Chains A and B, each alone.
Chain A
């Protein structure tokens, strides 16, 4: 069967891809997409650990459920903020929302 390490490497690669997206993109919506990718990679990691190490209790699966819940809450709220910023300054780029910068 497939070793646990393969799942860990896969989720690590997905997390790193999301991390690159968060660092490198200007559009706030793309940054949100990258954050979703990172959260999903983390939940893949949790589920892999749960099914290889914790066969009775599924603690990692419970964690993955909460990760999915928080991802849903986060994307709803963050898109509200994006729409608000767009309404204020006709742009959804994160580097232009700089009025809190002193």
Chain B
């Protein structure tokens, strides 16, 4: 965890992620924005690997970089005459101002707070032990109710999406 590779990887992936996220809002075409979003999510899953969260990194690639862009591309393709123009904005100056304010607030809070992080020795012991076993035991143990509720939520969202998109037969 201490190696120079992790540090280089962090800066490269951070630059990639922020650059791709900026590109999402800078490119003109909506489809290119979706592709930039995929790039941002891939960089983010690399960041998860630098945090030795292997399972989340894989889930991120599967769902955020795989499933969600497919849905988004479908939505772009199924709205053919809608505006594809990314620059079409409503409250751009105000939004920029509020966004910059949020960013400044987050940076200030992150830097000014003294976080109670574990010492380096403990982190070294647990670094890259593989997280899947712990996550599985926790999901079916302490978080069983939340796990079952999430499955009910997914079912409800699925039925709701089908009911919304279906053509009216009457």
A residues apposed to B, CB below 8 Å: 1-2, 4-27, 29-30, 32-34, 36-37, 40, 43-44, 47-48, 50-53, 55-59, 61-62, 64-66, 68-77, 79-84, 86, 90-93, 95
In addition to A34-B25, A51-B51, 6 A-B residue pairs with Cβ atoms within 8 Å of each other are A12-B110, A24-B90, A26-B90, A27-B88, A40-B44, A69-B154
Contact of A30 among B1, B2, B33, B105 (CB under 8 A): B33
- Complexed CA–CA distance, A45 and B2 (Å): 20
Do A86 and B78 form a contact, CB below 8 Å, given A61-B56, A61-B135, A68-B60? yes
A-B contact pairs, 28 of them (CB 8 A): A2-B6, A9-B106, A9-B111, A13-B18, A15-B106, A19-B99, A27-B30, A27-B85, A30-B86, A34-B25, A36-B68, A40-B60, A43-B60, A51-B51, A52-B123, A53-B117, A58-B131, A59-B138, A62-B135, A64-B56, A68-B59, A72-B63, A72-B68, A77-B157, A83-B165, A86-B78, A86-B82, A92-B82
Docked CA distance A62–B76 (Å): 32
A15 to chain B, nearest CB (A): 7
A71 interface neighbour in B1, B17, B63, Cβ under 8 Å: B63
Interface SS of chain B = helix
Which residues of the other chain, B, contact A77 by a CB distance below 8 angstroms?
Answer: 157, 160-161, 164
Question: Is the CB–CB distance between A29 and B76 below 8 Å?
Answer: yes
From known contacts A84-B165, A92-B79, infer whether A65 and B59 are also in contact, taking CB-CB under 8 Å: yes
Give chain B residues whose Cβ lies under 8 Å from the Cβ of A20: 25, 95-96, 98-99
Residue contact B83 to A26, C-beta cutoff 8 Å: yes
Cα distance, A84 to B79, chains bound together (Å) = 10
